[in-house]
Chains A and B, each alone.
Chain A
């Protein structure tokens, strides 16, 4: 459900993205978001091209990419689960849910399954703080998770 289009970094893709934001002031973040939306991550080749296109140094673009938690420098798993680790979800049992999910998948938070099928990431607050523990499965929000009822994370028709 969260399969990324199998697109590679190319001059055409870059031209398309750059044209979309040509008239914006401070266009770097919108461009990086579009690159990641297309590829699932921001490849090294993109950094050089973007720097050239925006008249920035590669260091400036790399510095921006590496600053923000959202931007990845390598492809994520085909499925990404982002589990909220912030206080309001902690107060509703997020630590136990996290441990149960880590045990079930066999990977700790912040890593991907060995087959690259699934990435488990931390997120600090989704704004669902009275309905936690909560998570994003791809672009689908889920809430009211329980350690013994994690099906909502995997089955779109659950809950």
Chain B
């Protein structure tokens, strides 16, 4: 009998020795005369446990955490190939792990479970049902379903996806394009990477549905160059889809054509901004375009273009397969469905936690995340990437919801939560925000290009103790100018980390703590 052993082959596993573990397990099985099949999956998203090896048993998949190549022999002695517990590395039934059991995985249901190289495995786990439903419903009904689901863009801006598709569908144009933004540059985020490495067919299915809905026959998937494993996994999946008749002419036996091509970024954070990304695909400098016109009217090569984030496209197959109401039944307020939240930085249970909107920041950090990995107290949490605000513990009751975060001077962005312990210096973090903006500015608008560099200089003066009060007033003024005068979110949102650091952690800037501002 063949024993199935699942070992992640994603970028995190590779970074912590996953390949050597796989090789050691293969050799150990051979030496013991055990027939095994090693399946390289994506990650389940509990990164502290990686490499997490799983063995299939009659009772389900049994996990062994933080397996190193040197541990394999003793694991085998303790019954690894029978999935026996007993070894200290055994974590029992993986599905029963608290961190996974508490999630609502709609988008990430298959990630870490299936073989990302197998189109059959994808189908066996419910894949392609969304596309089949879409093809039988027709384009109007698809757009309507996405609208009724309440799905909003998961890239950061939170713009409603359905109306965007409707605009492109109605826009006149001989050619239309579907573009997927996989330029996931926000520090503290890795959901796009995980999905592309662990369940690539889901993204292809979502993009093909979008192409069918708006009558676009060509899609581009723009992946950042820092994600080589995702590029490989997606290309392999695209090739498999062409071979199986799911891409190209006659998608899934229909009369629809959809071609999909990967484009690789070149290390420019600003290309995560949608118009800069379009410029980059066109082979130009990744400079932001002034809006209007919106990409929905004049996007890639001047044609009507749907541009969405990986997670937005990946949410669509569920919506079509299970119905818009099923998706919209999760969430709160105008934030419907689930959000793949990413817990990062100094946190014990770092990883991917997909859940309905509405969970509080405190629950995410203290309860689900288990506090810091270092054991030091949590001091600040940056939510939403380098352009997101730093939240103090005092604001931990904020629910994860687009509007709730906006109301408190922050943003949820792409769902990244970076935890800092009490050794953090928020003035240094504010300086870094300006510095990062200066490094990554596309240079098109003055507030961002010049303001970011001036910001670094002014903070340096404060650090040096030069006229702190006047210089702090200058920082505030500069932030106001950048916020109101920048062309895109890079310059426009850099004030979020800077001003939140200043407002919530004034003592780090040498100021006395004011009376707590009313919320």
Contacts and interface: CB of A to CB of B under 8 A. Distances in A.
Interface of A: 24-30, 32-33, 54, 60, 63-64, 67-71, 86-92, 123-132, 134, 136, 139-144, 157, 159
Contact of B285 (A32, A64, A128): A64
B266 A69 contact: yes
Nearest to A64: B285
Given A127-B11, A131-B15, A142-B15, A157 B263 contact: no
A22 B179 CA distance: 21
Interface stretch (B145-153, B184-192, B236-244): B184-192
24 contacts: A29-B263, A29-B281, A32-B266, A33-B266, A64-B285, A67-B286, A68-B266, A68-B286, A69-B266, A87-B432, A91-B418, A91-B419, A124-B269, A124-B439, A127-B184, A128-B11, A128-B15, A129-B188, A129-B190, A131-B50, A132-B344, A139-B228, A141-B12, A141-B15
B283 A27 contact: yes
A125 B343 CA distance: 15
A26 B282 contact: yes
Interface in B307-353: 342-347, 350-351
Given A124-B185, A125-B226, A88 B266 contact: no
Nearest to B443: A67
A146 B474 CA distance: 38
A159 B382 CA distance: 30
Given A27-B283, A90-B432, A143 B188 contact: no
Contacts of A68: 265-268, 286
A69 B11 CA distance: 22
Nearest to B287: A67
Nearest to B261: A24
Interface of B: 11-12, 14-17, 20, 47-48, 50, 68, 184-190, 192-193, 225-229, 261, 263-269, 280-287, 301, 342-347, 350-351, 373, 382, 386, 416, 418-421, 424, 429, 432, 436, 439-440, 442
Contacts of A69: 266-268
A69 B419 CA distance: 28
B52 to A, nearest CB: 12
7 closest A-B pairs (Cβ-Cβ)? A130-B350, A28-B283, A91-B345, A86-B187, A68-B266, A129-B344, A69-B267
Contacts of B12: 128, 130-131, 141, 143
Contacts of B48: 130
A86 B184 CA distance: 13
B267 A29 contact: no
A143 to B, nearest CB: 4
Contacts of A67: 268, 285-287, 442
B21 to A, nearest CB: 11
A143 B16 contact: yes
B461 to A, nearest CB: 22
